[in-house]
Structure 1
């Protein structure tokens, strides 16, 4: 266990998530049994739009129990959030250099339904690793893993905590002239703007 990189399952994770993966040689171990935590990247991602940073949030079904394992969290389809998210992503990145190249790969996440948030996030993670040509296998915890150091990143990458990227190197962004460089957004911002160069950026 000590030799694994312990990560949570995020929705279109931020660049810092993949920076950690790329900088480490340890096997990837994704936590399935942690209690679901509100207001984290497990259900939200940040993209750059003409109006600045936009948070896209996946709605979930809230059960009677307070503490629900991440693997059992169900996605809520009471309203068509998939259409809203995909339209926002298309509007934000349609003019980026590589959006059309990856468009079909990502469109399916907004056309098909996934019952569970964990499965939805993991399928995206596997696609993102493939798109960035990061050859890493992903394993999953069989029980909850007690906090360990220094390779436990379950609580480190958080929207309300400072980014792990202390001095992020700017790359081209569609709306940079309007808002300046926006660091540590969803990794799709890097992918759609940098394409095959994304891995070397990390």
Structure 2
């Protein structure tokens, strides 16, 4: 079994879903500490006529000390949900597949979910469905694993009976490979270069929110995400390529 893990990003970039595609199980790290600095968990980039369009989900932090990700609540002060939606509708007004996803985007900014994790999971599940990804999603909080740091990831693999832990190559060098080796788990690197696809507004920008790929490419998004060619994605394995 191949397992990977990721924090629950807001509107994740394509690499998140490519890694998910090559995993049997993707574990969402929902009960680890919410970063005190800037994080992809509550912000991401889209694209408009000015270039990168940053959207941030305001959250309550002041006076709350350290919080786990699944404890963080969305702050609905101000009119940011309407402004975010209008920014996206303006930026992607000419995107050929905006009509296919507009109703979800409207729902995304109107539901007023209390916790950030619930918003992000709803988005992640929607994008996985659009991309035809059948990988099982599990929350770390559901596994009952008690460990920290690299040991946490090893114990996650043990709890799931995984033989392989899949990790982006640039992250792998920061992990203690010997812990995985001692547990009989292969620490398998995934090398990433973002796929290039047709975009609005001038020069291509890589690693935008996956909505950019979907709104511009529609049903072709999955093939673009999974295609293997020089300069695209490749996966270090002796096994055949079998996306979920």
- Aligned-residue offset at 1:152: 5.4
1:17 aligns with 2:16: yes
For the structure 1 residues 47 and 29, does the alpha-carbon distance in structure 2 shift closer, same or farther, using more than 3 Å as the test?
Answer: same
Residues 46 and 209 of structure 2 are in contact (CA less than 8 Å); yes or no, is this contact kept in structure 1?
yes
In 2 relative to 1, CA 25–193 (structure 1 residues): closer, same or farther, beyond 3 Å?
Answer: same
**Computing the radius of gyration over CA atoms, which structure comes out larger, 1 or 2?**
2
The answer to whether residue 134 in structure 2 is matched with residue 135 in structure 1 is yes
Following the alignment from structure 2 to structure 1, what is the Cα–Cα distance between the partners of residues 135 and 195? 24
What's the counterpart of residue 6 of structure 2? 7
Q: Which has the higher strand share?
A: 2
Aligned pairs (5 A) from 1:5-154: 5-22=4-21, 24-37=22-35, 38-142=37-141, 143=145, 146=148, 147=150, 148=153, 150-151=165-166
Moved over 2 A (4+): 63-66, 142-153
User: Which structure has the higher relative contact order (CA within 8 Å, separation 6+)?
Assistant: 1
Aligned partners of 1:9 and 1:66: how far apart in 2? 20
Unaligned ranges ≥5, structure 1: 157-163
Give the number of aligned pairs: 188
Q: What is the TM-score when the length of structure 1 is the normalising length?
A: 0.85
Which residue in the other structure is 2:176 paired with?
none
Give the 3-state SS of the residue equivalent to 2:44 in structure 1: strand
196 and 145 in structure 1: CA distance in 2 versus 1, 3 angstrom threshold: farther
Alpha-carbon deviations, 1:19-58, whole Å to 9, x = none?
Answer: 2222x13311101111001311100010010000011000
Question: Aligned residue for 1:170?
Answer: 196
Segments of 5+ residues of structure 2 without an aligned counterpart are 155-164, 172-190, 226-244
The CA distance in 2 between the partners of 1:93 and 1:112, in whole Å, is: 21
Between the aligned partners of 2:68 and 2:91, the Cα distance in structure 1 is: 33
CA separation of 1:3/1:116 partners in 2, compared to 1, >3 Å: closer, same or farther?
Answer: same
